[in-house]
Structure 1
Amino acid sequence: MNAVGTAPTAAGHGPALQVAHPAVTVRRTVHPVDTARLGRLAIASLHAELACAPKPGLVTPFSAGSHADMDAGTFLRSLFALRHYYRQIASAGAQDAPFEVLRTLGIAAEAAMLRATNGVNTHRGAIFSLGLLVASAARGRAHSGTALAAEQVCLQVQHWADDLIQAPLNADSPGQRARAQHRVAGVREQAAGGFPLLRELTVPALRDALGAGLPREAALCHTLMQLVAVVDDLNLLHRGGAAGLAWAKAEATAFLHAGGAHSADWRQRLARIDAGFVARRLSPGGSADLLACAWFLLQQEGA
């Protein structure tokens, strides 16, 4: 028995599902899913977010950003600890496992992350959001036999909406305290709604940036600033309050109005913005999680 309570093959094969009916039994084929590949894409997406620079207030290979307790090495240790989690949650999704199985896998992954980082939270948000998206992508492939469009993967997370809303929260976490204080929706509400910020903003913005010919790093940085300009990022609210969030949004908006990453001097301008974020100890970690999720969603379309 594996961690999700079933024994799939290495490729994620599962049995056909039978649906009882008074007069007829309908047999639905469950298609094989390469869960290992989906897991690798998830880790690669988190690494792509880490690697792009400059990113205001965020950890990069060259800077710890606004963080005194973590750097790129901390993130890499965390990614190594999570390398099996995304494959496991893909297997669970491919087998239509209930939400409680996904939640149990996420709790175990968070514990593994904290052990690897000596208690530093590097990827708690990504364990939740990206984990659900990986499970949804695998579930969609198992049912349809093909990769789903990014937007459809997001929408299918609503399959677990009722359980998502009812799941217990850690009311003492910084994000939840900021959410309650400022009365903004959190990531749980985003997930239950089919991730509208991903469907309506992040994925289209990243598609457009790549379609316009921007290299990966520039496209990711440009999309990140589009997120910072509009998202009520709980990390920004926790660190800077409403005033800090408003300042960050204004800086991102000004960057975009000046051409964003389409301008020749975008790196220099973004580095100056980064210095301002660091001086104010601001870090848009929620937006960074959405960015990694969007990169995964686009990459899984062709995988």
Structure 2
Amino acid sequence: MAALHAELALYPKPGLVSPMDSGAHSDMDATTFLRSLFALRHYFVAIAAAGEAGMPFEALRQLGVAAERRMLAATGGINTHRGAIFCLGLLAAAAGWRQRRGLILTGDSLAETVVTLWGDGIAASGSQSPDSNGSRATRRYGARSARDEALEGFPTLMGVAVPELEIAQARLGCPERARLQALFAVMADLEDTNLLHRGGPEGLRFVQTEARRFLDHGGVFTPHWRTFALGLHRACIARNLSPGGAADTLAAACFVQSLRS
């Protein structure tokens, strides 16, 4: 829950909802996200306990389905945290399983546990996935899905988001700037189905290119980082673009980081 709140509170995030504004979204604001978080308050505890007990993937999936129903009831049908329910739920289950057995809780070890224990179930669950905007974008453009990321050991999360977050945090000692650096790194790399849904390949390329330009010019380590980030935020609003997949990945990175503290 703390990781999802950290993502929500961050600003400026290109096109994304924060306490400052609704980004590119006309149907939700920070209050919508807070209602969603309240509805999900027991989910992560429950799925961690299920993971601790070594429950099969179908049991985890049913917990996620129930959590999604509560989320939609709390938000009036608006999808605020579907991606996080899947990704963070699996990571919480893996953390529960490993902690119960006295094993380390590094990001790579969590990913390995997800693939080893529940990979077959994740792979077989495709036909049961909801017909979401992201799944339609995956089919239309042949993009990688959140399921693909999980089955491959969360390469964007573990190979991009977590390292960027930890390096920036160590250098700056500033959680806000470290999280923004990690977010932009993910935006530059991830084939974000939320962007594909809203802007097609052109919208995805625009955000990836601008995020890479931000990083190439020094990212949050430069004096003018906030000006650039705000400029891209406004450009994404004008283009109706919102990198929701990158936001979910950032929240997951915050969760992985919290396990080490």
Q: Secondary structure at the match of 1:70?
A: coil
Task: Supply the distance in 1 between the matched residues of 2:25 and 2:154 (Cα, whole angstroms).
Answer: 27
Deviation, 1:59, is 0.3
Residue deviations 1:137-159, cap 9 Å, x none? Answer: 1101112x244112211221102
Deviation, 1:181, is 1.3
Residue deviations 1:171-221, cap 9 Å, x none? Answer: 632111111111122011111122111121111111111111241011111
Instruction: Report the counterpart of residue 238 of structure 1 in structure 2.
Output: 197
Structure 2 counterpart of 1:124, which letter? R
TM-score by length of 1: 0.83
Give yes or no for the alignment of 1:131 onto 2:80.
Answer: no
Task: Supply the distance in 1 between the matched residues of 2:13 and 2:201 (Cα, whole angstroms).
Answer: 21
Out of 24, 43, 57, the position equivalent to 1:66 is 24
Q: Percent identity?
A: 46
Deviation, 1:169, is 3.7
Residue deviations 1:275-295, cap 9 Å, x none? Answer: 000000000000100000011
TM-score by length of 2: 0.97
Q: Secondary structure at the match of 2:34?
A: helix
Give yes or no for the alignment of 1:150 onto 2:107.
Answer: yes
CA RMSD of aligned residues (A): 1.1
Q: Structure 1: where are the runs of 5+ without partners?
A: 1-42
Q: Secondary structure at the match of 1:108?
A: helix
Structure 1 counterpart of 2:184, which letter? M
* Structure with the bigger percentage of helix: 2
Instruction: Report the counterpart of residue 232 of structure 2 in structure 1.
Output: 273
Out of 44, 49, 58, the position equivalent to 1:100 is 58
Instruction: Report the counterpart of residue 82 of structure 1 in structure 2.
Output: 40
Out of 186, 193, 206, the position equivalent to 2:165 is 206
The answer to whether the 8 Å contact 2:17/2:23 transfers is: yes
Out of 249, 256, 260, the position equivalent to 1:297 is 256
Q: Whose Rg is larger?
A: 1
The answer to whether the 8 Å contact 1:164/1:192 transfers is: yes
Superposition pairs of residues 152-191 of structure 1, within 5 angstroms: 152-158=109-115, 159-167=117-125, 168-170=127-129, 172-191=131-150
Q: Secondary structure at the match of 2:195?
A: helix
Q: How many residues align?
A: 259
Stretch deviating more after TM superposition (85-94 or 198-207): 198-207
Out of 223, 240, 253, the position equivalent to 1:264 is 223
Q: 1:206 to 1:257 in 2, by over 3 A?
A: same
